Structure 1
Amino acid sequence: MSKSLPSRAENYSEWYNELVKRADLAENSAVRGCMIIKPYGYSIWEKMQRALDDMFKETGHVNAYFPLLIPKSFLSKEASHVEGFAKECAVVTHYRLKNDPNGHGVIVDPDAKLEEELIIRPTSETVIWSTYKNWVQSYRDLPILMNQWANVMRWEMRTRLFLRTAEFLWQEGHTAHATKEEAVEETEQMLNIYSEFAETFMAMPVIKGRKTANERFAGAEDTYCIEAMMQDGKALQAGTSHFLGQNFAKAFDVKFLNKANQQEFVWGTSWGVSTRLMGALIMAHSDDQGLVLPPKLAPIQVVIVPIYKGEEQLNNIKFKIDPLVSALKKRGISVKFDISENQSPGFKFAEYELKGVPIRLAIGNRDIENGTIELARRDTRVKTSLPFDGIEQVIVDTLEDIQISIYQKALDFRAANTFEVNTWDEFLVKIEEGGFLSAHWDGSPETEEKIKELTKATIRCIPLDSQEEAGKCILTGNPSKQRVIFARAY
């Protein structure tokens, strides 16, 4: 199975598309641009969801749910918001079908036209802030710290599984605060949570930064982001956190009585990550043999494949392995003991390699006689024969080491493909090679757009940890105060 995958070097895009399908993560649906997330893929998303949800709740956030359909008039209330999403909106115009009188199935009933069209949510700021108006009267009602796990729809013309689909799953946090300082602190806190999740669970190093005005979320005063590098040198925006200021509060007249007994508009934030993280996980770590999954997100962390002839040998292996399986499960490790008879051990090895299972154990009759077991690491593909006694702790330690090693490999790759450039000619050469380019920019939206037009590279972020450094813009030669990160991106 894995041998027939295209290689990353030959065709990175085809490698990705084929891997998503052959590893049973997702497939295209009958609806253009929408995907079916298969059980194996969804189990990875569930692990992501569970980890993030715990992190949100530890910081005081609670989950809620808001409608899928939004009145069209709501999107008209915040000018930059509607401008940002208008071209991606799917619109519901009728509420009933009827049989075609000509006998051609069903048709839309022309008499069932809605008085006001409804938008399938591309994001939920409008419907949520219209609700907050009913919830907030006094500073005592604040802050509101809410999140929802939901699906959204943005009518994308060019789609790719997980990375860009018309419908996708995500979480969207929406908070309301009494002060600007609180809202800014919330925006930064959630960015840090996303960064911690990406690096600790996904083993994916990220750069934290701010977006330029051109790249800012429609309706926000400031957008923070985490940017990751994929193995083809392209950037992928892995999460965003937005300081909304009072924009949506003003649009929906959400005011509160402050401690000085004065009416004031509420301050807001929104933040989200989506199933795009699945695409990031695949492209950050996987190889030409298939998925490479960090243990913390792997649906199966350890698979045990018995090699035997006849029921007696299988029973001997079971007698040895069953206590190990129980011990590993007690330690919170997901383990599969694959005794299915419809596939050969070699086929199973290839299948679990393709699916990125971090540790594969193989044991046969000779191993039992010798008191050994074979352990294969998915990240390095190294196989080692080890004493069976003490293997439980070896597995625990190896899983931890794989998690760390995968992160370090990705970090080293990013370091080796991040370049400081100081001239336009140097920029043109390096951008074709791929990677992150740290370069000066004069702060002008026109210059940013011109660079994008000429090279297809965008400013991924203004790094939060960057220091002021006097320089000259790579394109215009105008003064610049600091470097920004350019890259081509997904």
Structure 2
Amino acid sequence: MAKVLTSREESYAQWYNDLVLKADLAENSAVRGCMVIKPYGYAIWEKMQRVLDDMFKETGHQNAYFPLFIPKSFFSKEAAHVDGFAKECAVVTHYRLKNDPDGKGVIVDPDAKLEEEYIVRPTSETIIWNTYKNWIQSYRDLPILVNQWANVVRWEMRTRLFLRTAEFLWQEGHTAHATRQEAIEETETMLKVYAKFAEEWMAMPVVQGYKTANERFAGALETLTIEALMQDGKALQSGTSHFLGQNFAKAFDVTFANQDGKLDHVWATSWGVSTRLMGALVMSHSDDNGLVLPPKLAPIQVVIVPIYKKAEELERINEVVDGLVVRLKSLGISVKYDNDDKRKPGWKFAEYELKGVPVRLAVGPRDLENGTMEVARRDTLTKEIMPLEGIETKVQQLLNDIQENIYKKALDFRTAHTTKVDDYEEFKRLLDEKGGFFLCHWDGTPETEERIKNETKATIRCIPMDAPEEEGQCMVTGKPSDRRVLFARSY
């Protein structure tokens, strides 16, 4: 029996939760706000990691690891940074437990109080820049191009699997440079890496742009972002890259002797993506039947299901399929032959459809007689009969077609749900009726930005990099504006 999902039309939020749970991606844990990422979900994350890690290394970065615990005093050194994270921090105050004298389990030992509390990292700028102070003396030590794969904790009150959890997995790059220009170029380079990954591997079109001052990362001079549109018309911030200026270098006294022999503070960047990308992947492409995975990130790209009644029929099918599996793997295609006799073919079809396997092959005795196989593609839910001879090359092309089709479908959806609006009342109406991205004029003031957020729950997702200069008037105040910005309700 197929696992039933709530339809997107009935409740998009419940559909999402159903799908994450029933496709075996993740589940809630015994720790409030934290999740267990199950093997199938983690296999997708591993593929994401592998691709991103290669892309980082191709741009000259190396991996390192820094402590999970950060002394509380470090957060006091950069005012904007501590203000941005203060409400989300988990704090370690003691280092020992002891048996309860009343026999009620264990209690915190009051004699084991830390002299200085530790913060469980919400992000690592402070501990890393305290470390860089020991690594950098001269311009010859620069640049430092380091990335860390890690977990972080942000004590979220309202959590959703992958999208917003108290603990999540991510990577965080932290680089140090001799000049402002180098740091700015690094910030832009890494945003392009994220955009390329999102579009070419996740098949998810994104808008690249600058965050407003209100929306910047705490302690950054500039935050660049990629913003994606989900099927319910809400935006999802999918990756950010921050130009930190010299703020953290000044806070931790990280100086270097430049080529003129003068002391200067180092210039910094940081950038990251997280397991939130898993949520983006689910919401960008999936349907009421289950996951739709882009082939490049699918743990299983092709599944083969035998259809038979007698043992001797299975033996004949096995002989043919074993050779096909070898040929598919030689083309770099991940394939699973599911000849487990504990499940019927119909159950398997529904299960692999739910899990988003891009291509399903089915073969029975009659197919062998005809030299054919049934080929089903997950993105369109269509089937066709193909000759068995040379089918591996056709499957390879089909996987490429599916990757392209999924991207085109998401891009077409975004285009249809991107609207230019000049009137504030129309903006509010369309937000409710249509949703999606809205390109509107804004007067550039945080006051107007805050008013729109309070009245509509829509925020400025970014100032798009490709936004052309266009004289206009703010839709709220009527004040001059020289370009449109991107508004949306968001996750």
TM-score bracket for the superposition, by shorter chain length: over 0.9
- State how 1:101-120 maps to structure 2 within 5 Å: 101-120=101-120
1:472 is matched with: 473
3-state DSSP class of the match of 1:40? helix
Q: Tell me if the contact between 1:219 and 1:244 (Cα under 8 Å) persists in the aligned partners.
A: yes
CA distance in 2, matches of 1:150, 1:96: 25
Alpha-carbon deviation of 1:124?
Answer: 0.1
1:443 is matched with: 444
- State how 1:67-106 maps to structure 2 within 5 Å: 67-106=67-106
CA distance in 1, matches of 2:331, 2:366: 28
Counterpart amino acid of residue 144 in structure 2: I
1:344 is matched with: 344
3-state DSSP class of the match of 2:361? strand
Mapped pair 1:399 → 2:426 = no
Q: Tell me if the contact between 1:304 and 1:360 (Cα under 8 Å) persists in the aligned partners.
A: yes
Any idea what the Cα deviations from partners look like across 1:231-287, whole Å, max 9, x if unmatched? 001000000000000000000000000000000000000000000000000000000
CA distance in 2, matches of 1:358, 1:2: 18
2:330 is matched with: 330
- State how 1:24-35 maps to structure 2 within 5 Å: 24-35=24-35
CA distance in 1, matches of 2:211, 2:96: 43
Q: Tell me if the contact between 1:295 and 1:358 (Cα under 8 Å) persists in the aligned partners.
A: yes
2:203 is matched with: 203
Counterpart amino acid of residue 95 in structure 2: Y
Counterpart amino acid of residue 482 in structure 2: K
1:220 is matched with: 220
1:20 is matched with: 20
3-state DSSP class of the match of 2:93? strand
Mapped pair 1:258 → 2:258 = yes
CA distance in 2, matches of 1:126, 1:21: 36
Which runs of no fewer than 5 residues in structure 1 stay unpaired? Answer: none
Counterpart amino acid of residue 388 in structure 2: F
Q: Tell me if the contact between 1:2 and 1:289 (Cα under 8 Å) persists in the aligned partners.
A: no
1:181 is matched with: 181
Alpha-carbon deviation of 1:134?
Answer: 0.4
Q: Tell me if the contact between 1:2 and 1:288 (Cα under 8 Å) persists in the aligned partners.
A: no
Alpha-carbon deviation of 1:2?
Answer: 4.6
- State how 1:264-275 maps to structure 2 within 5 Å: 264-275=264-275
CA distance in 2, matches of 1:117, 1:125: 18
Any idea what the Cα deviations from partners look like across 1:426-469, whole Å, max 9, x if unmatched? 11111112100000000000100000000000000000011111
Mapped pair 1:249 → 2:261 = no
Mapped pair 1:482 → 2:483 = yes
Q: Tell me if the contact between 2:209 and 2:224 (Cα under 8 Å) persists in the aligned partners.
A: yes
Any idea what the Cα deviations from partners look like across 1:308-332, whole Å, max 9, x if unmatched? 1122100100111111100111111
2:409 is matched with: 409
**CA RMSD between the two structures:** 0.6
Mapped pair 1:366 → 2:366 = yes
1:463 is matched with: 464
Q: Tell me if the contact between 2:302 and 2:359 (Cα under 8 Å) persists in the aligned partners.
A: yes
3-state DSSP class of the match of 1:442? coil
Q: Could you state the TM-score of these two structures normalised by the residue count of structure 2?
A: 0.99
CA distance in 2, matches of 1:314, 1:256: 71
CA distance in 2, matches of 1:332, 1:103: 59
Q: Tell me if the contact between 2:240 and 2:272 (Cα under 8 Å) persists in the aligned partners.
A: yes
CA distance in 2, matches of 1:201, 1:392: 22
Q: Tell me if the contact between 2:239 and 2:273 (Cα under 8 Å) persists in the aligned partners.
A: yes
1:419 is matched with: 419
Alpha-carbon deviation of 1:74?
Answer: 0.2
3-state DSSP class of the match of 1:4? coil
Q: Tell me if the contact between 2:360 and 2:377 (Cα under 8 Å) persists in the aligned partners.
A: yes
Q: Tell me if the contact between 1:203 and 1:294 (Cα under 8 Å) persists in the aligned partners.
A: yes
CA distance in 2, matches of 1:417, 1:215: 23
Counterpart amino acid of residue 449 in structure 1: E
Aligned length: 490
3-state DSSP class of the match of 2:115? strand
Q: 1:3 to 1:115 in 2, by over 3 A?
A: closer
1:236 is matched with: 236
3-state DSSP class of the match of 2:226? strand
Q: Tell me if the contact between 1:208 and 1:464 (Cα under 8 Å) persists in the aligned partners.
A: yes
Q: Tell me if the contact between 1:2 and 1:290 (Cα under 8 Å) persists in the aligned partners.
A: no
Counterpart amino acid of residue 48 in structure 2: M
CA distance in 1, matches of 2:259, 2:25: 52
Aligned identity (percent) is 72
Mapped pair 1:276 → 2:276 = yes
Any idea what the Cα deviations from partners look like across 1:146-179, whole Å, max 9, x if unmatched? 0000000000000000000000000000000000
Q: Tell me if the contact between 1:361 and 1:374 (Cα under 8 Å) persists in the aligned partners.
A: yes
CA distance in 1, matches of 2:19, 2:482: 43
Alpha-carbon deviation of 1:40?
Answer: 0.1
Q: Tell me if the contact between 2:2 and 2:347 (Cα under 8 Å) persists in the aligned partners.
A: no
1:386 is matched with: 386
Q: Tell me if the contact between 2:3 and 2:22 (Cα under 8 Å) persists in the aligned partners.
A: no
1:57 is matched with: 57
Q: Tell me if the contact between 1:469 and 1:481 (Cα under 8 Å) persists in the aligned partners.
A: yes
Alpha-carbon deviation of 1:3?
Answer: 5.5
Alpha-carbon deviation of 1:481?
Answer: 1.1
3-state DSSP class of the match of 1:461? strand
CA distance in 1, matches of 2:468, 2:418: 17
Q: Tell me if the contact between 1:27 and 1:38 (Cα under 8 Å) persists in the aligned partners.
A: yes
1:453 is matched with: 454
CA distance in 2, matches of 1:55, 1:240: 16
CA distance in 1, matches of 2:103, 2:159: 35
Any idea what the Cα deviations from partners look like across 1:14-70, whole Å, max 9, x if unmatched? 000010000000000000000000000000000000000000000100000000000
CA distance in 1, matches of 2:354, 2:271: 33
CA distance in 2, matches of 1:451, 1:59: 39
